[in-house]
Structure 1
Amino acid sequence: MEHYKLNNRNVSNISERVSTPQYNRENIKTGIVHVGVGGFHRAHQAMYLDQLLHDASNSNWGICGVALLHFDQKIYNTLKDQDGLYTLVVKELDGTLTKRVIGSITEYLYAPDSPKAVIEKMASPDVKIITLTITEGGYNLNEATGAFNLDNPQIIHDSKNAAAPVTIFGYLTQALKLRKETNSGPITILSCDNIEGNGDVAKKMLLSYVQFAEPELLDWINANVSFPNSMVDRITPATVPSDISHLAETSGIEDQWPVVCESFQQWVVEDNFIAGRPNLESVGVQFVTDVEPFEKMKLGLLNAGHSVIGILGGLMGYSTIDEAISNPAIATFLSIYLDNEVTPILHGLDGMDLPKYKKTLIERFSNIYIKDQIDRICSESSAKIPKFILPTVYEQLKSTGTINYAAFVIAAWAIYSLGLNEKNEAINIKDAQQDVLFEQALLAKNNPEVFLAQEAVFGNLSKSAVFCEAFTKAYKDIIAFGVEKCIVEMNSNFLIKK
């Protein structure tokens, strides 16, 4: 089989083997700037836009991707070499692979080398929407106070170096300032990150920065920028070398960075676009007046579920999510947690079949063809746990509900943060707070509650006697008996009482 490098020149040859864009990419105008072009964006938003662009009436909605950080240079170079093209490989539960070349990213910029170009692109009158996948930790939020962290050295840098910012807030502020000066019109900033009320958070954080750095811009932003909330969902594991080689062997496509994902996809968006929007409902996006119930469901069930499996499985020595949930004790623990601690706090989900959704989640986690790495799922847990698990804890404490399973997961995370699993193997921890977590985890060996004293992660949770008692018991039990024996007993006791 002849092999072809993925680029515009070879698309016609590749189209004989897999689905490719059936629209003229040269005729596509950029209407969306996306910051944070990782695997998820390419499996989700860019995929939806690719579908939409097959209708010629939507040719104004191409994407300009922005690589914001220095470590984004590899994906930038890859997409530049491939003319923005990449292969999306959907892995079905039965192992079937559906391959498709995506063409919606028609421009790409590397911010560290071209800050002026990024600011000008964001300020272009053709651009109506700026979308974000900058991860939970990218919003510079102090979890203890809910406020913008003005002490961040990068924020201070941006306030003094307007022409060469390094944070998303510096870029957005200068772009909006330029839009105002050039009368380029209003714009929507759409967060697609796993944060409850992500649009509200994006607005609050941006306005906090603007108040600090460019206060004269506040009135214009309030009148000309909208911040819809959104909920996104598609499991997208990191691409591994075997994905690249398998694509080349089976399809003859030499793609330096294809994206693999599950078949499930969901995007629920608040219909609040001040400068207009593409007709995404025609390709399955759901527009609603209130996203919050759907966000809460997804964060509390899917994202928290991932963290539960990852932390428990990682501590037990598993390396992928599907391996971990194949352990009946972990699967039962997760089901009890979702049913008994999360589901009671979910409301307003008209039209959602929650039992079916939870059943589907277990199936998705169990997909043996996805091979989602536990170290990816557990990366940046210091930013994820406050978003995924702690809201459930707070609501359950408020209503005197049960928090034992959540407390067990947090206790397991404290031990996980020491960096060794129960097989005495090193855990690959990727977390901006890794050093602090390790220090607190060491202190917790003598006094478990010390781990909860990290206000930036846990807020005032350490003041809850109920939670501290459950956490301490779980911590000591895990140390004494190991994760598996503990959760088998917890599950058994729960089912007996039930």
Structure 2
Amino acid sequence: MKLCNDTLTALASNGRDIVLPEYDRASIQPGIVHLGVGAFHRAHQAWYTEAAMNRFGGNWGIIGVSLRRPAMRDALAPQDNLYSLVTRRDASERCQIIGALNKVLVASEQPDAVIEALAAPTVHVITLTVTEKGYGLDAASGTLNINQDDIAHDLNNNGTPQSTLGFLTRALALRQQRNLLGVTLISCDNLSDNGRKLRIALLQFARVNNRLLADWIDQHCRFPNTMVDRIVPATTDTAIEKFSGNYSFADGAPVFTEPFSQWVIERNFAGPVPPWDKVGAQFVDDVTPFEAAKLRTLNASHSLVAYLGCLEGHTSVAQAIKDNFIRDAVIALMREAEPTFTLPESFPVDDYQRALIERFENQALEHRCEQIAMDGSQKIPQRIIPVIEWHIARDSIPRYACLTIAAWLGFLRSDHTVNDPLADTLRKTKNGNLAEGIKTLLAMRDIFPATIADHPGIADQVLRESHRLSL
């Protein structure tokens, strides 16, 4: 039996405890377009939206957009865009069928359909998980990188857009021309100040060719900052096969995740949004302390686990965290990061840190170290550099933040495949001896600011940590 609309009733009586949609899918109109549909979105934003529609109804169906590849559309379309979300903690698991996704469009194949979906009058919210590199921002300056290939193409070509910003500006121009309302654009990527950065990138992009459009966007659209948190490993073919055996129905695109989930959203909307705050998300006035805590604690630790895990031959985070050296280093990095942000007094920081270790230990999640290790040039500036800068300003050298850079350098100089938008530049770190590799890495202004690159104590500490790793 294959998962689809016609088999939902049968799934409810197959003897397994499976949670099904509680609303009429056929009557739901799309109210959200999501750019970058993938496993994280389907386990996080779509899951919150599903919960909101289950409890309160509303036309909050999601049109997903895959910017490049058709694989997600091809997997979901035959099953009416239904998919299974399996929540796992060690030996226990829970299966829920998510129905919030109306359809998936492939931007490279259906550009006009994507633009029309974004410009539809029923759509009030656009969400994004396009990774750090999808915003077209220069990491050092924080401004639009007009030389990035997709950005340069879209700024100099009136044809089919290739970039996230290109599609957004084309669609928002249509909304302006049709006298439609503005929208709320919600970044769900692991960027500090992600809403503000999306706004900067989009306005700078629009102003190059259409200053009036940029002014309209600035006046009518909103870009709330957010913090998102849920561990969602990439789904493997083996996991799909095991799922079908366990549940006696076929799902070509299940998602596997942990019980923990968090979504903090700045209360800054252009119009209606789903009642996510009634189903577990938080609407707050200031996201900054939450995003700093998450980026510098969970995400920074994830990077350290990933690079050390790869260097030590561990496949998954759960395997790596069993290594006493890695575990102790992660705890020490969390302690280094703790004074660099201020959370509300009611927030239990110690409990949060202990819970992170427990989440890393979850044996049911096969979160691969190599998956987390990708795009280091985009992640390190968000996760590690603020910690180093905070300590430098107080005349101290953060050993474990420097260890993270050393581990990343070791990964770059190893035989592992480097999947990174700056891969060609990063290969230069393999030239020369270890000290020269460190100097080359720290001199990359796309990644490291001068305050760190020119600080002799940082380079010396990274070298000491590299020797401790026997690089």
Question: Do they fold alike, i.e. is TM over 0.5?
Answer: yes
Code of the residue aligned with 1:281 in structure 2: it is D
- For the 8 Å contact 1:230–1:270, the answer to whether it is kept is yes
Alpha-carbon distance in structure 1 between the residues aligned to 2:331 and 2:435: 32
Structure 1 match to 2:250: 254
Q: Is residue 2:442 matched to residue 1:466?
A: no
Residue of structure 1 in register with 2:439 after alignment:
449
- 1:54: Cα distance to partner? 1.5
Aligned residue for 1:438?
Answer: 427
TM (normalized to structure 2)?
0.96
CA contact (8 A) 1:58 1:278 kept: no
In the TM superposition, residue 133 of structure 1 has moved relative to its aligned partner by 0.3
SS across alignment from 1:254: coil
| Residues 1:59 and 2:54 are matched in the alignment | no
SS in 1 for 2:102: strand
Q: Show the 5 A alignment for 1:35-184.
A: 35-55=35-55, 57-69=56-68, 72-92=69-89, 94-184=90-180
Task: Work out whether 1:222 is the aligned partner of 2:218.
Answer: yes
Residue from 394, 397, 402 that aligns with 1:399? 394
The equivalent of 1:429 in structure 2 is 418
Conservation of the 8 A alpha-carbon contact between 1:7 and 1:81: yes
* Deviation by residue 1:44-63 (Cα, 9 ceiling, x = unmatched): 000111111113x5321111
Cα distance in 2 for residues equivalent to 1:435 and 1:180: 40
Q: What is the distance in 2 between the residues matched to 1:288 and 1:441? A: 45
Q: Please point out which of 319, 340, 343 is paired with 1:348.
A: 343
Distance 2:214 2:245 in 1: 54
Instruction: Report the counterpart of residue 27 of structure 2 in structure 1.
Output: 27
Distance in structure 2 (CA, Å) of the matches to 1:186 and 1:61? 17
Tell me, in whole angstroms, the C-alpha distance in 2 between the residues paired with 1:442 and 1:312.
21
Q: Distance in 2 between matches of 1:253 and 1:105?
A: 20
Preserved CA contact (<8 Å) 2:397 2:457: no
Distance between the aligned counterparts of 1:188 and 1:5, measured in 2?
36
Contact 1:294 1:349 in 2 (8 A): no
SS at the partner of 1:91?
strand
Measured in 1, the distance between the counterparts of 2:414 and 2:52 equals 45
Match of 1:285 in 2: 281
- Structure 2 Cα separation of the partners of residues 213 and 326 of structure 1: 53
Give 1:434 deviation, angstroms.
1.9
Q: For residue 302 of structure 1, what is the amino acid of its counterpart? A: L
CA offset at residue 385 of structure 1?
A: 0.8
2:348 and 2:433 mapped to 1: Cα distance?
A: 41
The CA deviation string for residues 197-252 of structure 1, in whole angstroms up to 9 with x for no partner, is: 00001000111111113222121111100000000000001112232122211211
Distance in 2 (alpha carbons) for counterparts of 1:160 and 1:80:
34
**Contact 1:87–1:259, Cα closer than 8 Å, also in 2:** yes
Q: 2:424 and 2:148 mapped to 1: Cα distance?
A: 17
Aligned-residue RMSD, C-alpha: 1.4
Please report the TM-score for the alignment, with normalisation by the length of structure 1.
Answer: 0.91
Structure 2 counterpart of 1:9: 6
Instruction: Give the secondary-structure state (helix, strand or coil) at the position aligned to 1:185.
Output: coil
* Residue number among 169, 183, 199 corresponding to 1:187 in the alignment: 183
What residue is the counterpart of 1:374 in the other structure? 369
What pairs up with 1:263-302 in 2 under 5 angstroms?
A: 263-302=259-298
Could you report, residue by residue, the CA deviation over 1:330-352 in whole angstroms, capped at 9, with x for unpaired residues?
Answer: 1111111211x100112033421
Displacement of 1:163 in angstroms is 4.4
Structure 2 Cα separation of the partners of residues 355 and 441 of structure 1 = 39
* 1:489 paired residue number: none
How far 1:182 sits from its partner (Å)? Answer: 0.3
Inter-partner Cα distance in structure 2 for 1:200 and 1:242:
39
Residue deviations 1:58-114, cap 9 Å, x none?
321111101111xx310111121221111001111x410101110000122111111
**Structure 1 residue 287: Cα displacement:** 0.5
* Pair 1:364-2:348 in alignment: no
1:36 maps to a residue whose letter is: G
Letter paired with 1:96 = S
Q: For this pair of structures, how many residues does the alignment match?
A: 466
Q: Could you tell me how far 1:442 is from its partner in structure 2? A: 2.4
Offset at residue 476 of structure 1 (A)? 3.5
Of 199, 217, 222, the residue aligned with 1:203 is 199
Q: C-alpha displacement at 1:31, in angstroms?
A: 0.6
Q: Is contact 2:434–2:463 with CA below 8 Å preserved after alignment?
A: no
Determine the C-alpha separation between the residues in 1 that align with 2:270 and 2:212: 21
Task: Output the CA distance in 2 between the equivalents of 1:14 and 1:160.
Answer: 51
Indicate conservation of the 8 Å contact 2:233/2:366, yes or no.
yes
Paired residues of 1:162 and 1:170 also in contact (CA < 8 A): no
User: Contact (CA 8 Å) 1:444, 1:451: kept in 2 or not?
Assistant: no
1:439 aligned partner, one-letter code: K
Identity %: 35
- Give the 3-state SS of the residue equivalent to 2:253 in structure 1: coil
Please name the residue that 1:213 is paired with: 209
Q: 1:158 to 1:247 in 2, by over 3 A?
A: same
The corresponding residue for 1:337 is 333
Give ranges in structure 2 of 5+ residues lacking alignment.
none
Q: Distance in 1 between matches of 2:431 and 2:389?
A: 26
Q: Distance in 2 between matches of 1:47 and 1:392?
A: 32
Per-residue deviation, 1:397: 0.8
For 2:33 and 2:100, how far apart are their aligned partners in 1?
11
For 1:291 and 1:96, the matched residues in 2 are separated by 33
State the distance in 1 between where 2:8 and 2:129 align: 28
Separation in 2, partners of 1:277, 1:130: 10
Please give the alpha-carbon distance, in whole angstroms, between the structure 1 residues aligned to 2:80 and 2:5. 6
**Is residue 19–residue 95 contact of structure 2 (8 Å, CA) maintained in 1?**
yes
One-letter amino acid of the structure 1 residue matched with residue 39 of structure 2: G
Deviations 1:278-328 (A, max 9, x none): 111111111100000000000010000100111111111111111111011
Report the counterpart of residue 237 of structure 1 in structure 2: 233
With 42-51 and 209-218 compared, the bigger mean Cα shift is at: 209-218
